[in-house]
Structure 1
């Protein structure tokens, strides 16, 4: 059986110290030099163990101060469900209400942005075709918990009241509701989740450690005619959220 890497062994030791209340929330950990001597490893191993636990929300780093035991923070339960897609609002906001959290979001939209090659492929358009791109930062009780970058083919919404996802009379209705307003029926969506690590920018926006574990979801909405009307890259930090998929089941009759 393959031996466990030293940094994982050290991370387990740190978790045990916290579980045994040798270290409690708010406590500052000893220096890496001291911890390395206690654990019989080098400072690089201690650093990797700490970075792992920071990414999981067990520890937190404070610039110029050191590493501390993090205060307990309940992970949000993020429900991914096409079955419950609202026609008049945000699925994120709707999902926060049952768990007693206030869901909101901030956004920044740019129109006529040339589609990169990968986005063009997902939308079924030519590379360089104009898109409306919107960057979202989703908040729970005012704290960021999820990021998303949305792309819509400009030719679909150009000249309509829904060209800006977060502007005009239909702002905030979501893709399904906005497309309905211009006579397009969104019939289904695909989602492809993949594990990843937070970039420096993502870590700053989400308040997590650079390289922290995240789930990246590539989502695309399609009309009933099979045309892609929107695609998005969603970033969900593992330390802050757990992802649950709800899948409708057709009852067997007869």
Structure 2
């Protein structure tokens, strides 16, 4: 594809990458204003903004509200391995690369229409809602999660709250096993999203940053939904691998 047929913001982004790679824009340096860059490259402010947003999504730049856009220090990408069948290997609460996490559970939260559909319950039925924040080695947020569990399953048990009780901090698989319930499968639906303002503030990224939203639901042997969750994974920090075990076909 020739330069004449490429979108202007892609050409500007390529020029920015060269400046970063060649050290003319060193790590930690603040980029010139969009007006100045627009005059330099002969494009409008919107083109500069789109080029910067692309490099922010790639992890080369970072926006600091009220301050400007800066060259970001290189970061090692984290690898998240997803497995469709919990227990093969056993499903941990947090993926590798997460050094610590925090959870806050609230009981008797009415299920919204969308949550109720995923859990196959009536809208308004009480659930336990748990908000998770996962931190990396630098103690900065690397992903978030929100889960919902029907209180009709756990409400009268000691493990009703994921962040309290005898199995506080343990996985859904472990907590359900405590109730004699076996989690046999998980269904995950990943889709690309842009984080909103509240999510951006929690993750320490600019609003509009690209992320993967994983909608996950655990089921028991009766195909009953036990828990559903939204995992928000910033695209500039994580590679997501699906490790899917296949059953060997019978010999011919």
Q: Under a length normalisation based on structure 2, what TM-score does the superposition of the two structures give?
A: 0.91
Kindly tell me: are residues 112 and 204 of structure 1, through their superposed partners in 2, closer, same or farther at Cα, counting changes over 3 Å?
same
Give the number of equivalent residue pairs.
248
Q: Does the Cα contact within 8 Å between 1:83 and 1:246 map onto a contact in 2? A: no
Q: Look up the match of 2:198.
A: 201
Matches within 5 A, 1:172-191: 172-191=169-188
* RMSD, aligned α-carbons: 2.0
Matches within 5 A, 1:73-152: 73-83=75-85, 85=87, 90-93=92-95, 95-96=96-97, 103-141=99-137, 142-152=139-149
Q: Distance in 2 between matches of 1:87 and 1:236?
A: 21
Q: Distance in 1 between matches of 2:142 and 2:12?
A: 28
Secondary structure at the residue paired with 1:138? strand
Residue-by-residue CA offset, 1:143-171 (whole Å, 9 max, x unaligned): 21111110000110011011001101111
Q: Look up the match of 1:33.
A: 35
Secondary structure at the residue paired with 2:214? strand
The reply to whether residue 9 of structure 1 matches residue 5 of structure 2 is no
Q: Distance in 2 between matches of 1:120 and 1:157?
A: 16
Instruction: List structure 1 runs of 4+ shifted beyond 4 angstroms.
Output: 86-89
The reply to whether residue 225 of structure 1 matches residue 222 of structure 2 is yes
Q: Distance in 2 between matches of 1:149 and 1:85?
A: 21
The reply to whether residue 248 of structure 1 matches residue 245 of structure 2 is yes
Report deviation, 1:27.
2.0
Report deviation, 1:252.
3.8
Report deviation, 1:83.
4.7
Q: Distance in 2 between matches of 1:76 and 1:87?
A: 19
Q: Distance in 2 between matches of 1:51 and 1:199?
A: 14
Q: Under a length normalisation based on structure 1, what TM-score does the superposition of the two structures give?
A: 0.91
